Amino acid sequence: MTYKLLLATLPIAGSVFYLTYLHLNLSRKVQCQTKPYPQDKTITLPSTIQNRPEKYIIHHERARKSIPTASLGTYSKPETLTLLLRHTMATFSRQPPAWGIWYLIKDAKDRGTFDSAYIRSLQFAPGDRVCGVYVVSSRDAERVTLALDAPESYSGPLVEGMLVVEVKEEGSETTFINHTVMWREKGKGRAGALESAGGRWMHGLMVRRLVESGVQRLLAELGDKKGL
């Protein structure tokens, strides 16, 4: 009886151990923190929310990783930013959260924005749509903002938020930062991924892996600039 029970729980325990291991391993490589308010002044929320923050539930997750700038060779900041976004968004497009979004989008053209070859061809200029619901709303040399902006053929729940991806030089280091900001009006809509402890944990794990693998891939491709 106990033996059977043990056998039944083994796969679950196994994956919990595996995820915990991944989490611990990654926390040394990529810092990640989520707060129920914007963590830094560089994040500008839409004015309707900025003016009445007490009416909204706001979560801001910030994941960051620093490496010596010298290891980036001759890459410029805009190139680094574009390549990082290509890697991380192409990887994201193949993960379960992206399948969920894909399923809720019916239009073939919108579904095409999940395609790896399409994502890898993007410059991430204003107006570029990626993984169905993310649209580049602004871009400068070291920062790209993607608004959550579902296309007409999307039939899922309304989720509001934005992603901000930055590449910053600080002293002799270059820091990669991924901000995920989500909000909803109190009493309206459904709780988002960052509102529960479990959701924050899973999301943090996913984003840490994305940042870590994106930066590793970038370093591995050094010197081979064909992609741009």
Contact residues toward ligand NAG (CB under 6 A) are 84-85, 88-89, 92, 163, 165, 178, 180, 207, 210-211, 214
Closest CA to 42 of 125, 124, 144: 144
Q: Which two tokens stand for residue 56?
A: 């909204």
49 or 60: CB nearest ligand NAG: 60
Q: How many CB atoms lie within 10 A of CB 96?
A: 8
Closest CB to ligand NAG among 72 and 89? 89
* Residue 107: CB minimum distance to ligand NAG, A: 20
**Residue 1 neighbours by CB under 8 Å, 6+ apart:** none
Judge whether 51 and 45 are in contact, CB under 8 Å: no
The least CB distance from residue 155 to ligand NAG, in Å, is 21
Residue identified by tokens 């399948």 is 99
Residue 92 or 183: the one with the smaller Cβ distance to ligand NAG is 92
Least Å distance, CB 11 to ligand NAG, is: 27
Task: In whole angstroms, give the CA distance from residue 164 to residue 217.
Answer: 20
Decide whether 49 or 85 has the Cβ nearer to ligand NAG. Answer: 85
> Which 3-state string (H, E, C) describes 131-167?
CCCEEEEEEECCEEEEEECCCCCECCCCCEEEEEEEE
Q: State which residue, 49 or 162, has the beta carbon closest to ligand NAG.
A: 162
- In angstroms, give the least distance from the CB of 42 to ligand NAG: 16
Residue 50 Cβ, how far from ligand NAG at the closest point, in Å?
21
Residue for token digits 């004015």? 47
